[in-house]
Structure 1
Amino acid sequence: MSGELRPVDARVRALESILVEKGYVDPAALDEIIETYQHRVGPRNGAHVVARSWTDPDFAARLADDATAAVAELGYGGRGGEHLAAVFNSPREHHLVVCTLCSCYPWPVLGLPPVWYKSPAYRSRAVLDPRGVLADFGTVLDDDVAIRVHDSTSELRYLVVPQRPAGTDGWSADELAAIVSRDAMIGTRLVSA
């Protein structure tokens, strides 16, 4: 049994074989794409940025001032991350990111966009009823917390820096990064210890 492929893995391999055989795909290019999405881009990068901002006030200030440069300090950048702004949640203000035109998204720090982020329902409701959208994700904020919706574009993409949860004093940056989700960096969820 251990040598058998799951059906989805078998289909992926068959499709890859056909594409390579017909000359549509270079195996080295395919390996590079897989390496990129497994190890160089993704939400773990953004979680590292957030954790660093929680543990290093100087870095947090640089992130607020020029997110693109601050993120580059940590070795993250590239296509989809050229023009990045960081917005910081606080007890009085919560940020939510959407792209109303398509699905502009900071791939180097968040990886592939979730399917819901690209959906017309999310794209319209995030602007018209952000509190309702947050509630759909299980995020209920007090009425006195202002919600700021940021519309990403190809010229400017956003990273939400969630509030650091209580009870995490003394945690290492790696421990903090482990509790930061992609959805929290879009603004649809909160971070809890």
Structure 2
Amino acid sequence: MSSASSDGSDPHHEHHHHDHHDHGDEHSELDPMTIRVRALETVLTEKAYIDPAALDLLIDTYQTRIGPRNGARVVAKAWSDPAFMEWLLADASAAIASLGFTGRQGEHMVAVANSDEQHHIVVCTLCSCYPWPVLGLPPTWYKSAPYRSRVVRDPRGVLAEFGVELPSQTQIRVWDSTAEVRYLVIPQRPPGSNGLDEMALAALVTRDSMIGTGLALRPDQVAEASA
């Protein structure tokens, strides 16, 4: 199903029926499981069984470091191996599995590649379906009601808030994840990355670039960050 955004960017919103969750109120950002987890965390913290700072560090490690590294390896291989890119776009589940990244939340994958003509962005409008085997834990904003509702109506505006300014002629396509199908965005290979091996290329790939709310880093940006 396609729809036109309010800014005239004519995004295509690929929406699929969700029948696997009790979603509750769309405007409530906390689902029952989240509420229970937070209550349990509060009790354990009060009893000094856990250290909130250590827990936050652990979550951040899996959310922003370990998890996305798998997806970054997939993207890096696609950038450097045209045959793998072709396979990835034709059968993402099999191509990703060939690198050892499988498991729940990632059984049925679809890869979409950004280009000068089209930019892809992923959302789960009714819940928070997310490809855990390749991207790790979903960021908090991905699960929030504002993101889930606004990215469909105004994708260009949402991208601008993430610091992504696209040419007016670039069409934006919004993909709606479900329990049956989850998406991986292949960002455009950045300039200045020719000659880099797969490990160096993977360092240019961010979690947000594989959701579509960011762009791959240039080599000079990675060098500045590590300096």
TM-score (norm 1): 0.81
- 1:48 alignment partner AA: R
User: Quick one: distance in 2 between partners of 1:126 and 1:174?
Assistant: 32
Structure 1 unaligned blocks of 5 or more: 1-10, 18-33
Displacement, 1:191?
A: 1.2
- Matching residue within 124, 130, 146 for 1:105: 130
- 2:185 alignment partner AA: V
User: Quick one: distance in 2 between partners of 1:16 and 1:169?
Assistant: 46
Give the aligned CA root-mean-square deviation in angstroms. 2.3
Residue of structure 1 equivalent to 2:49? 15
Displacement, 1:143?
A: 0.5
User: Quick one: distance in 2 between partners of 1:55 and 1:64?
Assistant: 14
**Relative to 1, partners in 2 of residues 1:16 and 1:65: Cα closer, same or farther, differing over 3 Å?**
same
1:125 maps onto 2:150 in alignment? yes
Residue of structure 1 equivalent to 2:74? 49
Displacement, 1:14?
A: 3.6
Identity within the alignment, %: 62
Residue of structure 2 equivalent to 1:145? 170
C-alpha distance after superposition, 1:43-92 (max 9, x if no partner): 00000000000000010011000100000000001000000000000011
C-alpha distance after superposition, 1:127-153 (max 9, x if no partner): 000000000000000110000000000
Q: How does 1:1-193 map to 2 (within 5 A)?
A: 11=45, 14-15=48-49, 37=62, 42-193=67-218
Aligned residues: 166
3-state DSSP of counterpart to 2:49? helix
Displacement, 1:12?
A: 10
Displacement, 1:188?
A: 0.3
Structure 1 moving runs of 4+ over 2 Å: 11-17
TM-score (norm 2): 0.69
Conserved 8 A contact 2:152-2:174: yes
User: Quick one: distance in 2 between partners of 1:48 and 1:166?
Assistant: 18
Residue of structure 2 equivalent to 1:21? none
